[in-house]
Amino acid sequence: MSVKPAQARAAASAPRTQPKRVMDGTGPAMIMGRLSGASLPQLRLQSFTIFMYMKTMNRMSPAPGTSADTPAPRGFAHVDAWIFDLDNTLYSHEAQVWPQVGQRITRFLAETFDLDGISARALQKYYYHRHGTTLRGLMEEHGMDPTDFLAFVHDVDLSLLPANERLAAAIGALPGRKLIFTNGSARHAENICRKLGLDSHFCGYFDIVAADFIPKPEQGAYDMLLARYDVDPARAAFFEDMARNLAPAHALGMTTALVLPATPDPYREPFEQAREELAHVDHITDDLSGFLEGVIADSND
């Protein structure tokens, strides 16, 4: 059930914990702690400061891994646990699912903190880069209950998401168990997989709740996934659209595959869809169905 605007405003007026983290003297200080009572120009100035801090952080934080001395890529002959990310991995951006989620996150922040859209979007990006997910930022800095947030942001229209019989056949032919590993909710994952025609092939949906709200790429999320489903990482493969999320999986011993969009995704940053040779990325594809068909063909040789 989605959160109504009135409910979001009520949540905003409820007592909240003070922000637990502040920026150092060179960055914005306790921005959310000053939201109430700030004028609109002040909010916009604060949002601009957040935005510039985020851009600086992006420039200063290199992607994990290195292109130097890249070892031979791991194969799939030994794999008996196939782990897939969900959003932008199992479907293309043409379905316009992820943009809806992003828009609803912005709307949730706008209604919760009584912000204009520009300020809400800047705050969303700040939480994402600072905490890994917007939700975690809300939980850590404001003690927010995640239930309403997850229900609201994943209440999206899937009418443009077609069934993918080719992908379903390829995933179904893989030997062993198949799992979903997502920073979203299990309900969202189930809805997506059902619409794609993939739901009968997955034996588990490991979501942000199961990970105790620790998002990829933090190590704890991977450790909990492996423990929950008794997966040997040396016999597992992980398919993901974000290169940074493959680094912990590769370090654990998994075979890793980066799934890129077949055409440029206008809803994502260029660095999020760049084709780079990285030590922790064994394979790169922009056609998941075709890639899996190749894996299956190789195993039958």
Residue 14: predicted pLDDT: 41
Residue 55: predicted pLDDT: 52
Q: Are residues 144 and 284 in the same domain?
A: no
Last residue of a domain, one of 138, 153, 168: 153
Residue 48 has which token pair? 């601009």
Cα distance between residue 23 and residue 141, in whole Å: 12
Mean pLDDT over residues 233-256, rounded? 97
Total tally of structural domains belonging to the chain: 2
Q: Are residues 172 and 148 in the same domain?
A: no
Mean pLDDT over residues 230-257, rounded? 97
Mapped onto helix, strand or coil, the DSSP state of residue 237 is: strand
- 67 in a domain, yes or no? no
Q: Are residues 255 and 245 in the same domain?
A: yes
Mean pLDDT (the chain) is 83
Mean pLDDT over residues 1-23, rounded? 36
Residue 277: predicted pLDDT: 85
In this prediction, residue 8 has a pLDDT band, given cuts at 50, 70 and 90, of: very low
Q: Is the pLDDT of residue 179 over 90?
A: yes
Polymer length in residues for the chain: 301
Least confident stretch, 50-59, 198-207, 220-229, 265-274: 50-59
Q: Are residues 44 and 168 in the same domain?
A: no
Q: Are residues 89 and 236 in the same domain?
A: yes
Q: Are residues 106 and 230 in the same domain?
A: no
Starting at the edge strand found earlier in the chain, the sheet holding 236-240 runs 204-206, 177-181, 81-84, 236-240, 255-259, 283-285
Residue 1: predicted pLDDT: 38
Tell me if the bond preceding 175 is cis, omega within 30° of 0: no
Cβ atoms 66, 279 nearer than 8 A: yes
At 268, give phi and psi (nearest 5°). Answer: -130, 160
The CATH number given to whatever domain includes residue 296 is: 3.40.50.1000
Mean pLDDT over residues 76-81, rounded? 97
The string of pLDDT tens digits covering residues 105-146 is 999 999 999 999 999 999 999 999 899 899 999 999 999 999
- 69 in a domain, yes or no? no
Q: Are residues 108 and 202 in the same domain?
A: no
Q: Is the pLDDT of residue 5 over 50?
A: no
- 72 in a domain, yes or no? no
Q: Are residues 110 and 246 in the same domain?
A: no
Q: Are residues 86 and 32 in the same domain?
A: no
The residue whose two tokens read 């043409």 is: 94
The string of pLDDT tens digits covering residues 185-214 is 999 999 999 999 999 999 999 999 999 999
Per-residue exposure over 167-193, b if at least 16 CB sit within 10 Å of its own CB, e if not:
bbebbeebeebbbbbbbbbbebbbbbb
Residue 267: predicted pLDDT: 82
Mean pLDDT over residues 65-91, rounded? 85
Last residue of a domain, one of 153, 180, 199: 153
Q: Are residues 217 and 203 in the same domain?
A: yes
In this prediction, residue 50 has a pLDDT band, given cuts at 50, 70 and 90, of: low
Structural domain boundaries enclosing 288: 81-96+160-300
Cβ atoms 261, 286 nearer than 8 A: yes
Q: Residue 230: count other Cβ atoms within 10 Å of its Cβ.
A: 8
Q: Is the pLDDT of residue 174 over 60?
A: yes
Q: Are residues 236 and 91 in the same domain?
A: yes
Strand partners, 239: 84, 257
Q: Are residues 114 and 198 in the same domain?
A: no
Torsion angle (degrees, nearest 10) of CA 213, 219, 222, 224: -60
